[in-house]
Amino acid sequence: MKLRNIAIIAHVDHGKTTLVDELLKQSGSYRENQRVAERVMDSNDLEKERGITILAKATSVVWKDTRINIVDTPGHADFGGEVERILNMVDGAIVLVDAAEGPMPQTKFVVGKALKVGLRPIVAINKVDRSDARAQEVVNEVFDLFAALDATDEQLDFPILYGSGRNGWMAESPEGPQDLGMAPLFDLVLKHVPAPDIEEDSRFRMIGTILEANPFLGRIITGRITSGSIKPNQTIKVLAQDGSVVEQGRVSKVLAFRGIERQPVDLAEAGDIVAIAGLSKGTVAETFCDPSVEEPLHAQPIDPPTVTMSFIVNDSPLAGTEGDKVTSRVIRDRLLKEAEGNVALKVEESADKDSFFVSGRGELQLAVLVETMRREGFEVALSRPRVVFKKDEATDETLEPIEEVLIDVDEEFSGVVVQKMSERKAEMVEMRPSGGNRQRLVFYAPTRGLIGYQAELLTDTRGTAIMNRLFHSYAPHKGEIAGRRNGVLISNDAGEAVAYALWNLEDRGPMMIEPGWKVYQGMIVGEHNRENDLEVNVLKGKKLTNIRAAGKDEAVRLTPPIRMTLEKGMAWIQDDELLEVTPKSIRLRKAVLDPNGRKRAERAREAAA
C-alpha cells in the first residue's frame, strides 16, 4: 500500500486534536454506530482534564488506497521536546493556524524546526467561522514568518486551505464549499507530501522516537523504519549516538497503527511508522537495527532544559499519612523512568541522596510530572523552580535563559502589563494593535522573572490577557529581580486548626487553611499583610466560662481561604520555603521547620552575604 507520513503542528488551542478527530471520522476509521470520545487522541487523564495534548501520538487513516500516518503533537512550548523528536519520522506537516490569532510563538518554534529538516508544509487556516476571523491577513503573516525562518523557495510555495476543524470541512477559499468535508485536505496530502524516502540498504534500521511503558508488553518504542523490514521474533540490536551497543534482543511484537487502534502485524516494511516491543533498554534517539549494522542514524539534537526544581523526600510531621511512596529509592526510580522516555527532562542526584534536581522546559512540564506522580501515590517536597544558568567560556560571565513573551491584552490594561514586565527586567521589542481594541505586546524577558507571573497578569487584566512564551536564547545576567513582597503566617504548634483562632487572625492577612485542617510547626497557614514572617497560633480556641457574657456571642464568619493549586504554589514560594505535595493535599511549609533553626540559617545567610 502507498504511504504518506505527516505531522500536525500548531500553537496550543488552535485545534490540532479536534482536526484529527474529523480526519478519523471522515476516512471511515469508525463503524457507523461506534461511540467515540471527543478529542480521542488525548488519551490520558491529565490531557482530558486540562484540554491540552501532552504526549505526541500516532494514528493512521486510509484514503484512496493510500495509508496516511498522522502524528498529533503538543502545542505548549514546555512539551516541545516531543515535537522536535517526531519531525524525523514524517515527510510533511500540516501547519494549523487560527484565523483570528494568527501565527503564535509555538507555531514559530515548531515550524522553524520543521523547515530546518526540509519538510514541505501545508498551511491550514482553521476556525474561519469565528466572528473575529481575518483569514487573508493571517496568510500574509504566515508567509512573513516562513520568510523570516529562512524557508527555501519550494517551502515558501506552500498550498493553503481554509476551514473549520470542529465543523469538519476544508476548502480552497474561506467561503467554502463546505459539503466536501475533509476531502480537499486528504487529496492535498496525497499530492503535496512526498512518499517516504526509503534507503537502498535492505537491513532493518529505525530511530526510536516515542517511548512508553505498557503493563503487558513492557517497553514499547515507536519510530519510522528507515530501511529494511521487521517481523516478530527477529533479533535486533540498539546503537547509541556514539556507535556503542546498548543491548541486543528479540522483538516480541510489531504493532502498526490502524485508526486509533494498534494492531500486531507479521511484517512491517520501510517507510511505515510502527511500535516494537521486547527490548528492555533501548530508548529515544537511539538506532534500532539489524545486528550487522555498525553506524547509527543521525538524530535531531534536542534543545536544553531551562528550569530546574529540587524533588526532596518529604520530612514533614505528616509525611506518609496520605501517600504510600515516600522513600528516596522509589522517588529516584520513578524520576529516572520518566527521564528515559522524556528527552527534554534531566534528572541528577544530590550528594546527600535525599533530593533530586529535575530540569525541564518550563513550570508546566514539571507540574504535569508532579501531578502524575501524586496520582500514583507519591509524596514529595518541592523547591521553588530555578533557572539553569550557563557560563560563557570566552568572557567567563554568567548567562541566563531569555524568553520571547507575546501578550495579547485589552488596550486599557497595556500600561500595567508594560510596567510589571519592566519590573521583571523585560525588554519590549514590539507593540501593535491586534484588532478589537486589543494590543499585542512582544518582550524579551529573563525566565526567572516570569516564574509566577501568569496569575498576576490575569489579576491585573481581569482575566482578559493571553500570554505565550518561548525560549529565545541565553544572554548576560540581568541583575536582581524583586520577588514576593509579602511575608507569611507560620503555625507555631501542631494540631488541628480552630475556626475561632483563624477568625481572630484575619486582620493579619488572608488564610490558606480551613478549620479542622491538620497543621504542624513551621507550616505556612496564610499570607502576612507586611513584609516580615510572623508565627501565629491557629489552635487557640475560645475560653469558655460558666458565666454568660453581657453581649451576644459573636458569630464566627470566616473569609474563604486562598486555594493553592500546584502551579500557583510552585510559583508563590520563596527560596527558603517548600511545597509539600501528597495524593490528597498541597501544603506550604518552611524548609527549616524549627523556629530557632530558621534564625540560625538566616544569620548564616546574612554572614555569607
Domain boundaries, given as residue ranges, for the chain: 2-192, 205-289, 308-377, 390-476, 488-544+555-578+588-608
Dihedral sign, Cα of residue 173, residue 176, residue 178, residue 179: negative
β-sheet bridge partners, residue 357: 310, 348
Its CATH class, for the domain covering 390-476, is alpha beta
Going through 314-437 in order, the beta strands assigned E by DSSP cover 346-349, 355-360, 380-382, 386-387, 390-391, 398-410, 427-433
Reported pTM: 0.79
Burial class (CB in 10 A: 0-12, 13-18, 19+), 549: exposed
What cell does 23 get?
A: 480526519
Q: Which pLDDT score, from 0 to 100, does residue 343 have?
A: 72
What does the pLDDT read at residue 527? Answer: 92
Query: For 195, which DSSP code?
Result: P
- pLDDT for the residue numbered 37: 56
Q: Which residue has the cell 470541512?
A: 169
* Residue 129, annotated as binding a ligand: yes
The set of residues, in sequence order, having a beta carbon less than 8 Å from that of 157 and lying 6+ positions away, is none
pLDDT number for residue 100: 86
8 Å CB contact between 404 and 470? yes
Amino acid letter for position 155: Q
Residue 575, marked binder: no
Give pLDDT, residue 555: 67
- Cα separations in angstroms, 161 against 94, 133, 411, 456: 10, 14, 32, 38
Cell of 347: 534528572
Domain 488-544+555-578+588-608 top-level CATH class: mainly beta
The pLDDT value recorded for residue 71 is 86
Does residue 16 have a known ligand-binding role? Answer: yes
User: In the prediction, which pLDDT does 42 show?
Assistant: 60
Tell me phi and psi for residue 414, to 5 degrees: -65, -30
Would you tell me which CATH number, out of the four given (3.40.980.10, 1.20.950.20, 2.40.30.10, 3.30.465.10), belongs to the domain 205-289? Answer: 2.40.30.10
Question: Identity (one letter) of the amino acid at 74?
Answer: P
DSSP per-residue letters across 478-496: ----------EEEE-S-EE
2-192 matches 308-377 in fold: no
Is residue 126 a known part of a binding site? Answer: yes
Residue 13 annotated in ligand binding: yes
**At a CB cut-off of 8 Å and minimum separation 6, what does 452 contact?**
484, 570, 571, 572
Say whether 128 counts as a known binding-site residue.
yes
Q: Mean pLDDT, consecutive 10-residue segments, the chain of 609 residues?
A: 86 80 73 55 64 76 87 74 77 89 78 84 89 88 88 88 88 84 89 84 86 81 89 90 88 86 88 89 85 84 80 90 89 87 82 86 85 92 88 84 87 90 90 80 89 82 82 85 83 91 90 92 92 90 70 70 86 88 92 90 85
- Would you state the pLDDT for residue 554? 60
Fold of the 308-377 domain: Alpha-Beta Plaits (3.30.70)
Q: Check residue 549 and give its pLDDT.
A: 61
Q: Is 492 annotated as a binding residue?
A: no
d(CA 119, CA 115): 6
Q: Which CATH superfamily is domain 2-192 in?
A: P-loop containing nucleotide triphosphate hydrolases (3.40.50.300)
* 464 marked ligand binding residue: no
